[in-house]
Structure 1
Amino acid sequence: MSRSIRRVVPALLSALLLAALLPPAALAEDSFYQPPDPLPAGAPGDLVRSRVSDNPPTRAKAKAWQVMYLSTNALGQRHAVTGTVLVPKDVDAKTAPVVGLAVGTHGPAFRCTPSRMIDVGALYEQPAVTDLLTRGYAVAITDYEGYRPEPRTTYTVGRSMGTAVLDVVRAALRLPGTGLSANAKVALRGYSQGGGAAMWAGELQPSYAPELNLVGVVGGGVPADLIQVALPLDGKRGYGLLATALMGLDRAYPELKLDDYLNDKGRSEYARMQREACTVELLTWYPNGRLADHTTTSPVLTPPWLARVRENKLGGNKIQVPVLQYHGDNDDLVYPPQAKELFAAYCRLGVNARWQGYPSDHITLVYTGNEAAHQFLADRFAGKPATSGC
């Protein structure tokens, strides 16, 4: 095992264990996360509220804020999203680049909110955050849609995740006290759910946030085609991810009516997931779960669901900046062939894209892919030309 792996794998285990063992009182309900009704006037990325925050692993390196900002959901409607902004203390903020970091799966329960995990030192992607800050980059991290005391998360819905990523970057640039420049160079990166979110943000940016000075996008373990990702998880250890994706689509698109497909056991278990499940629970509660155990009829291949899934398939729009896409050859949670199909689609669209494969499973690559991602970002911020792998 390499020195880098020995360094980061304990971080994963420690973060997941801490998140799983935190008593409910440690993550008591917090009114900061409840959006005001009605929402204030404003444009996407405008701040609703903010407060100084804490990030135990980096409190000596960075100033931190939790933010609530305006964004746009999958139906094009205004809503409010929360997140975290971190700015390194030892750099000139006016010249600091900004990374929109899209985190991976955290689970549907309110206690799993990424910014709350950051605040208690339980973010399993903390090594990536720390490395970005050490390199002198500000970091803007969205919680995605729906993390509030009565959670309605829209897990894997690209048209919601992409706007949330772009708007947390906007919020960081507009947040008083950061000192960041409105013209700062911006890059987007993420892994797993976050890889899909970063790619969605890249595809949406030219029309949705053209003012951002975007220079590069990195996505690892990307779930590009939800059908090809979801079906192999049925009956496998990733069933909890499949179930949460169904709940996410249902919340994003109310006409799907997931409850009509569930049996009594499914209603009970899916409600339990929404109340209690974070990453550990999603991967351990249902090691061989099956849709047939929780539904009277599977919704996955019905016309209404297929139509919404197709709307959230990556590869339909050109990303205008260089892209690095990486994936584990032995990925057991995000089907590798569909990721390679995304890369081929980007090449056909004329994207300056590069593919990097690893002899790795999904979870290990959360960490072992970081160095290549960081180098790609460093080159983009330095203005070096990117070599296409198409």
Structure 2
Amino acid sequence: MRNRERVAAVILAMIASVTIAPAMAADPGPADDSFYVPPTPLPPGAPGDIIRWRLSQAGPVKSTVNAWQVMYRSTNALGQPNAVTGTVLIAKRVNPSTAPIVGLAPGTHGPAFRCAPSRMIDVGAFYEQPALNDMLNAGYAVAITDYEGYMPNPRTTYVVGQSMGHAMIDAIRAAQRLPEAGLSASAKVAFRGYSQGGGAAMWAGEQQPGYAPELNLVGVVGGGVPADLTQVALPLDGKPGFGLLMYSLIGLDAAYPDLRLDSYLNDAGRALVTQMQNDACTLELLVRYKGKRLIDYTTGSPVLTPSWLARVAENKLGTNPINVPVLQYHATNDELVDYSQAQALRNAYCAKGVKLTWKTQATDHITLVYYGNEDAKAFIADRFAGRPPITTC
């Protein structure tokens, strides 16, 4: 079996083998799934303020780290306050008051509640565990957002940058404001992610100057970035990535109720959406829905209608510069996130004066989840050490 097939098989086997168990809790957060249900109304506060927390089981690193699940205030794509969950981890051997902080934005986990990254971390099924281990072993605190909408009745805003960037930024703020963690408000910060997470990291980088100027941000890493949702989505119809296309429509509809996805669906489409939200994680998105076509689930395509195109345009990266050094990397044979739109983002950032390092690997999307880790790790280490970046613009 080729290397990339082996890597893909390992990822899918990990995800398929998991049975989600209830998380253990510590006061003041509830022990059951109600932890994930935002209080109504939200308590007063600012973005990044902690609403509740409990201990995380932290999967395979449990014995060596202190870890907490958190719910914190953030801001949705419409600029309104919301509540988001996530995980904060730091190695027990590390002095938290001097630790840099990495915001690790997860890749695609799927629309079902059982797929929430914090739940996957708890039970040892987080497929980006190698990246997480690298950050913890380097002595960094790590804040991982679940993104908006993971709850027993999920409404996840998949690939919606205006929501994901805020969720990433506020995960860092929440980590800094969690008294039990003991992290510094002036700690050096880096954003990192791949695929959906790469988009989230770049969005956080673009939003940070206006949304969280107090953060001591020193670098951003984004791999496999879905920068232009139209260019990413259209090639997936009828192809192996159809599940990601359908999930993108579900995510946009969750963020923007005015899009009214249901009005475009036939009965088969409504059944498909319900099935995805009840049961689909990454494995199901890539295997169960492989090769399906949007025309079989809709009465009319929403993808190119003016209202949808307007919302998609609001979530296109590259409009604003990122003011710190950036590492962007992409697979030249990426079959899930179009390579040419990643090149276009690279060119847009370079034109705006971003200090960008651009790297490619001749592999596919899933393989680069792992093969990109060394470059990401080295780039972040250099930023925390204050070394000057090498730009390729």
Same fold (TM over 0.5): yes
Q: In the alignment, what sits opposite 2:310?
A: 307
- Specify which of 357, 361, 364 is matched with residue 358 of structure 1: 361
Compute the displacement of 1:14 (Å).
4.5
Alignment of 1:268-347 (within 5 A): 268-347=271-350
Q: Does 1:226 align with 2:229?
A: yes
Deviations 1:163-200 (A, max 9, x none): 00000000000001111111000000000000000000
SS of aligned partner of 1:40: coil
Distance in 1 between the 2:234 and 2:21 partners?
33
Aligned partner letter, 1:97: P
Unaligned segments of structure 2, at least 5 residues? 25-30
1:190 equivalent in structure 2: 193
Tell me the equivalent position of 2:82.
Answer: 79
Query: Which digits, 9 at most, give the CA deviation of each residue in 1:41-74, with x for residues without a partner?
Result: 0000000000111112111221000000000000
* Structure 2 CA distance for partners of 1:23 and 1:163, relative to 1, 3 Å: closer
8 Å CA contact 2:7, 2:367 repeated in 1: no
The letter of the residue matching 2:294 is L
Could you tell me how far apart the structure 1 residues matched to 2:184 and 2:20 are?
Answer: 40
1:245 and 2:244 are equivalent in the alignment: no
Q: Which whole-Å CA distance do the structure 1 matches of 2:70 and 2:237 have between them?
A: 36
**Counterpart position of 2:28:** none
Establish whether residue 206 from structure 1 lines up as the match of residue 209 from structure 2: yes
* One of 40, 58, 78 as aligned partner of 2:43: 40
Query: Would you say 1:100 and 2:99 are equivalent positions?
Result: no
In 2, Cα distance between equivalents of 1:265 and 1:156: 24
Superposition pairs of residues 88-237 of structure 1, within 5 angstroms: 88-237=91-240
AA of the residue aligned to 1:76: G
Deviation readout 1:270-292 (Å, 9 max, x if unpaired): 11101110000001111111110
Whether the aligned pair in 1 keeps the contact of 2:131 and 2:373 (CA below 8 Å) is yes
| 2: CA distance, partners of 1:67 / 1:283 | 29
- Give the match's secondary structure for 1:274: helix
Moved over 4 A (4+): 4-11, 23-29
Report the Cα distance in structure 2 between the residues aligned to 1:8 and 1:288, rounded to whole angstroms.
21
Question: Aligned-pair distance for 1:18?
Answer: 2.4
Q: Hey, what's the Cα distance between the residues in 2 that align with 1:286 and 1:5?
A: 21
SS at match of 1:297: coil
Contact 1:145 1:153 in 2 (8 A): yes
Shift of the 69–207 alpha-carbon distance from structure 1 to 2, 3 Å rule, reads same
Q: 1:230, 1:9 → 2: CA distance?
A: 21
Is the contact between residue 62 and residue 86 of structure 1 (CA under 8 Å) also seen in structure 2? yes
Q: Per the alignment, in what secondary structure is the counterpart of residue 330 of structure 2?
A: strand
Cα distance between partner residues in 2 of 1:262 and 1:9: 32
Give the SS at the match of 1:344. Answer: helix
Distance 1:56 1:142 in 2: 16
Contact 1:29–1:149 (Cα < 8 Å) also in 2: no
The 2-side partners of 1:34 and 1:272 are apart by 21
Count of residue pairs brought into register by the alignment = 387
3-state SS in 2 of match to 1:94: helix
Structure 1: gaps spanning 5 or more residues:
none
Which one of 377, 380, 386 corresponds to residue 383 of structure 2? Answer: 380
Question: Quick one: which of 264, 268, 273 aligns to 2:267?
Answer: 264
SS of 1:364 mapped into structure 2: helix
Moved more, 26-35 or 105-114: 26-35
Is this contact kept in 2: 1:5–1:368, CA < 8 A? no
Q: Which secondary structure state, in structure 2, belongs to the residue aligned with residue 280 of structure 1?
A: helix
Bigger Cα displacement from structure 2, 52-61 vs 144-153: 52-61
CA contact (8 A) 1:81 1:145 kept: yes
Q: Give the deviation of 1:29 after TM superposition.
A: 6.2
Find the aligned partners of 1:96 and 1:116 in 2 and give their Cα distance: 25
Report the AA paired with residue 362 of structure 1.
H
Instruction: Give 2:11's aligned residue.
Output: 12
Gap change, CA 1:5 and 1:281, over 3 Å in 2: closer
- How far apart are 1:8 and its partner, in Å? 6.9
1:11 shift after superposition: 5.5
* 1:221-277 C-alpha deviation (Å, 9 max, x unpaired): 000000000000000010000001001101111110001111110011111101110
Amino acid at match of 2:262: D
What letter corresponds to residue 12 of structure 1 in structure 2? I
Q: Percent identity?
A: 66
